[in-house]
Amino acid sequence: MQHPYPLHLDLTGRRVLVVGGGPVAARRVRELVAAGAAVEVVAPALCEDLRDLLPSLTWLEHDVRPAEAPDLVAGAWLVHTATGDPAVDAAVAAAAEARATWCVRADAAELSAAWTPVTVRRGDVTLSLTAGGDPRRARALKEAGSRWLDSGAAPLRRRRTGDRPGRVVLVGGGPGAVDLLTLRGRRALAEADLVVTDRLGPRGVLAELDPDVEVVDVGKTAGNHPVPQDEINRILVEAARSGRQVVRLKGGDPYVFGRGGEELLACRAAGIEVEVVPGVTSAFSVPAAAGIPVTHRGVSRSVTVVDGHEATDVVRLAGVGGTLSILMGVSMLPEIAAGLIAGGKDPATPVAVVEKGWTPEQRTTTAPLADIARVAAEAGVRAPAVVVVGEVVEALHEGGRA
């Protein structure tokens, strides 16, 4: 045989016959249903996976006798056999051959007229591969293909946009380390024409993008003023309207004090498709970087995430049990500490201020609540930092806080 001829088929609404009701048939049928085929399964019984696919398939509940094969095959665009009975599979394959219909035999690849490749799908990209009839080799290659597509190294960016509408992906970039960005977020970046970034987040990843990807930094301008939210919304909407794939790369998680909700609503109001990719929030990960678990059995069973700008109601938080993880709290630290103590929090409660988590400049300053504002000021603590209030600050002390 020469090299096989690879081909992708549009099976929408086309009749595909699957003979057999076991797990192998189920794997095939799932793909066929996803491809929109009109699938007919002939089998005396269906395995559970196939039953789960009802009513997306038509079930002809009977055995197949070889003599009936020609009638069954009539009118099918494609046939799959997976009965486990070589005589039946052979009869169905022969009937298909006689009608010039492609038949994939699960029982004997070497006797089959067609094969289904192993595939890896990411959005509208499909990698199909065959590996000389060696399923374990094919699986290993599939895993390597998956890793490559997810790594961000695959050149996924569209070169021909056609009339595809633009879209916006709000990506939570995590606290700063490039390898704390999710695979989904990295993939969105690999597809982006425009990246709108912030001051925080994994800025190192920007150097890995194609040189012709436009990067707009809205975290600060020359005068150090951040771009107003309305203007950010406008940039996102206009770029997507012009057909571009836009990534809004944000620090941490987009929905944790990230104004992700506002950006989502602005895009939706403009009729732009939006996807949200969650991120590793600094509220939990920055304490972790300093060896502080935000909850710990026997120490704290809850954690409250607080916007430190809103220190006015901090007295109320004094009564909330568990751990407080306070973001944007550095400038108001004296008011926060005083308010918590005024609200009844023990002045001896341990506090840690973790600056620039997950970066080489990470630093942790600790003191009891009564002293933390003075100690932090003396140490010259600056934003960005997460302030952790609670016994968890000491929970792993024996293990050595970083």
Ligand X SMILES: C[S@@+](CC[C@H](N)C(=O)[O-])C[C@H]1O[C@@H](n2cnc3c(N)ncnc32)[C@H](O)[C@@H]1O
Q: Is 376 in the site for ligand X (CB under 6 A)?
A: no
Alpha helices in 152-305 (DSSP H): 183-191, 229-241, 260-269, 282-289
- Rule CB under 6 A: is residue 286 a binding residue for ligand X? yes
Q: Of these residues, 63, 134, 210, 220, which one is catalytic?
A: 220
Q: How many CB atoms lie within 10 A of CB 51?
A: 13
Cβ closest to ligand X, residue 106 vs residue 327: 327
**Among 89, 193, 198, 253, which one carries the catalytic annotation?**
198
284 binds ligand X (CB under 6 A): no
345 is catalytic: no
DSSP state, residue 174: B
Q: Which sign, positive or negative, has the C-alpha torsion 363, 368, 369, 370?
A: negative
Query: Angle CA(116)–CA(118)–CA(120) in degrees, nearest 5?
Result: 130
Among 239, 357, 389, 390, binds ligand X (CB under 6 A): 357
Name which of 92 and 181 has its Cβ closer to ligand X: 181
318 scored as a contact of ligand X (CB under 6 A): no
Examine residue 386 and tell whether it contacts ligand X (CB under 6 A): yes
Residue nearest to ligand X (CB): 252
Binding of ligand X by 145 (CB under 6 A): no
Quote the tokens at residue 327: 């973001």
Residue 85 contacts by C-beta under 8 Å, 6 or more apart in sequence? none
Site for ligand X in 332-351 (CB under 6 A): none
Taking CB under 6 A as the criterion, the residue among 142, 187, 203, 356 binding ligand X is 356
Least distance to ligand X, CB of residue 342, Å:
23
Site for ligand X in 191-210 (CB under 6 A): 200
Contacting residues for 127 by C-beta, under 8 A, at least 6 apart: 119, 120, 121, 145, 149
Residue 314 or 327 with smaller CB distance to ligand X: 327
Distance CA 217, CA 196 (A): 6
Applying CB under 6 A, does 327 fall inside the site for ligand X?
yes
Which residue number, 41 or 168, has a Cβ lying nearer to ligand X? 168
Beta bridge partners of 129: 118
Among 358, 364, 390, 392, binds ligand X (CB under 6 A): 358
Kindly list the strands in the beta sheet with 385-389, ordered across the sheet, starting from the edge strand earlier in the chain: 303-307, 323-327, 385-389, 350-355, 363-368
Binding footprint of ligand X on the chain (CB under 6 A): 175-176, 200, 250-253, 256-258, 281-283, 286, 327-328, 354, 356-358, 383-386
